[in-house]
Amino acid sequence: MKGRNERFHDRYARVYDAVYEKSAYWRFYRDLTWHNVKRFLPRDAGAEIADLGCGTGEWGLRCMASGYRVTFVDLSNEMLCRARERVDEEYPGRESLFIKSDICELKDLPSDRFGLALAQGDPLSFTEDPARAAREIRRILRPGGVAIASVDSRCNGYDYYLESGDLDSLEEFHKSGKTEWLARDKRERFPTHAFLPGELTKLFERAGLEVVDLCGKTCLDARGHAELLEDPKAFRRLFNIELECRREPAFIGRAAHLEIVVKKPEK
């Protein structure tokens, strides 16, 4: 039987692209993501890339545009269908794989294969077993392969509980990082995990991966001031400021999401 997470994302798949495309904030966010991902695209064009929690395929499609072969993975069948439609439209005849799977159980993906694995848009926060997901990511990466994951940041969640005055839940959140996806319809809510920077680093180190980079996304409150981003010049100026602060620990604490880059050792 489908869990709430899967049901929510199956429904969300229908409107997902429209939500992200029309918002200046999400354009800003996505430009930051791609700015980071581009730095770690494999040098060899024949390399394979895994887009884990691929949604409608945004990152895998961008990788396909650079010539890589992509395996798209998602818990939601509807998200995968939309990703496949986009691939068929944009790259008819190009070979790619679509696998329905939880990020913590990648048994249909081969070991030591991928030059790059992406887990963008919080699938590690959404899975019930992030430690197992980190081990699976290590397993599927080829030696020297890199993974880039974004997750919900714990520091960003405290104000929600303070504003609601629910101190029991605040204490629980403070201790464990456990919270829930705040869908408007309470029946659609599902458990999620918000990470502290050190916790995220340890998660991957314990899985046998080396941490290469950690930053916040977004450190400026771009969502709260999205109207500024409608002006292309202001967009560019804010983008440059964001790039300059995103690795400073104090700024990382302001961000809604954390983004980590990890590498599988060569040997």
Ligand X SMILES: C[S@@+](CC[C@H](N)C(=O)[O-])C[C@H]1O[C@@H](n2cnc3c(N)ncnc32)[C@H](O)[C@@H]1O
Q: Indicate the residue among 75 and 214 with the shorter CB distance to ligand X.
A: 75
Distance CA 212, CA 214 (A): 7
Closest CA to 132 of 106, 165, 156, 170: 106
Shortest Cβ distance from residue 162 to ligand X (Å)?
A: 25
**Contacting ligand X (CB under 6 A), which of 42, 61, 71, 102?**
102
**Among positions 121, 145, 197, 216, the unique one binding ligand X when judged by CB under 6 A:** 121
Q: Give the footprint of ligand X on residues 9-48 (CB under 6 A).
A: 9
Specify the length of the chain in residues. 267
Query: Should residue 260 be labelled a site residue for ligand X when binding is judged by CB under 6 A?
Result: no
116 counts as binding ligand X under rule CB under 6 A: no
**Spatial distance between the Cα atoms of 190 and 147, rounded to a whole number of angstroms:** 25
Partnered with residue 141 across adjacent β-strands are: 114
Task: Please report how close the Cβ of residue 245 comes to ligand X at its closest, in angstroms.
Answer: 22
Minimum distance from residue 167 beta carbon to ligand X (Å): 29
Cα dihedral: 47, 53, 57, 59 (round 10)? -50
The backbone torsions φ and ψ at residue 44, rounded to the nearest 5 degrees and listed phi first, read -90, 125
Q: Tokens 């930051």 sit at which residue? A: 32
**What would the two tokens of residue 265 be?**
């050792």
* 179 binding ligand X? (CB under 6 A): no
Minimum distance from residue 5 beta carbon to ligand X (Å): 5
Which residues of this protein are in contact with ligand X, per CB under 6 A? Answer: 5, 9, 53-55, 58-59, 74-76, 79, 102-103, 120-123, 126-127
